[in-house]
Amino acid sequence: MASLKSIKKRIVSVKNTRQITKAMKMVSAAKLRRAQENVVAARPYAKKLGEVLQSLAANLEGDLHPLLEKREARKLLLVVLTSDRGLCGGFNTNLCKAADRYIKEKKDSYEQINVMTIGRKGYEFLKSRYTVYKNFPNVLAKPNYQSAAMMAQEIIDGFVAEEYDQVELLYNSFRTVMTQDITFEQMLPVAQVEAGDTEETPVEFIYEPSVSELLGEILPKNIEVQIFKAMLETVAGEHGARMTAMDSASKNASEMIGKLTLQYNRARQAAITTELMEIISGSESIKG
């Protein structure tokens, strides 16, 4: 049986750990509310922009803008978006495993698959398995549109230069505090709405000032918005996952403290009983 001193030391250690996990839960809970508000505010704009762009693309020729060009998909770029920090349960691990499975499934369909990572955890997981084309760490501590625009420009430049023919985005979509959905989205080329996919009457657009100028503005903007929304979804999901993980860790620590306290009391009682028996035995031997 462990000594009283070692058990007491473990109890103190677990109590200190519980204080840390409780503090981390409170911090994530405070940050989650703001992050959730940002996601809810960004979703309608991103959704409507995507719908308008898909509708436009269905009525336009690919040669009007390089980002509408549909080439034979020989080279794929997978953009994987994870957090920079851990201690959030399976939030990053599940996404990285999904990326790993996806690459293995698609490796025979493409001549080349490049990986771009946003976030340190994704880079650390994938760098030992695949060649990471580019990595953007530490952009999620304070997500901003400028960072999204910079990364979007990197993707656009590579697509226009034909370094890859298709771009897929993989991230955790925030649903609830306890639920984040692994989401794949095709970024390039722009997915078109096929005739028959919608029951709405086709809309005829009047372009001002011109189709090429309009596309030159709206197509890059759509990539930027997609990345920025995914960043906000990831931040909200990270805080939700960490809040859940730290709450579970705090409960487990409390249970462990209870078990260790019981073990400590039993050991203490055994030690007291042993001392009493020794005293009584010594007393009896003196009498004898």
**CA–CA separation, 124 vs 114, rounded Å?**
16
DSSP state of 193: P
Name 77's bridge partners: 114, 167
Burial of 187 (C-beta count, 10 Å sphere; 0-12/13-18/19+): buried
Contact 125, 219 (CB under 8 A): no
DSSP state of 190: P
Tokens of 18: 């519980």
Alpha-carbon Rg for the chain, nearest whole angstrom, is: 29
- Residue 131 backbone phi and psi in degrees, to 5: -85, 120
**CA–CA separation, 264 vs 245, rounded Å?**
28
Tokens of 136: 């953007």
**CA–CA separation, 227 vs 223, rounded Å?**
6
Instruction: Please state, in angstroms and as integers, the Cα–Cα distance from residue 99 to each residue in 120, 161, 267, 274, following that order.
Output: 15, 25, 50, 60
Active-site annotation holder among 24, 67, 78, 88? 88
**CA–CA separation, 56 vs 115, rounded Å?**
29
Indicate if 88 belongs to the active site: yes
Tokens 């599940």 belong to which residue?
A: 94
Active-site residues: which are they? 88
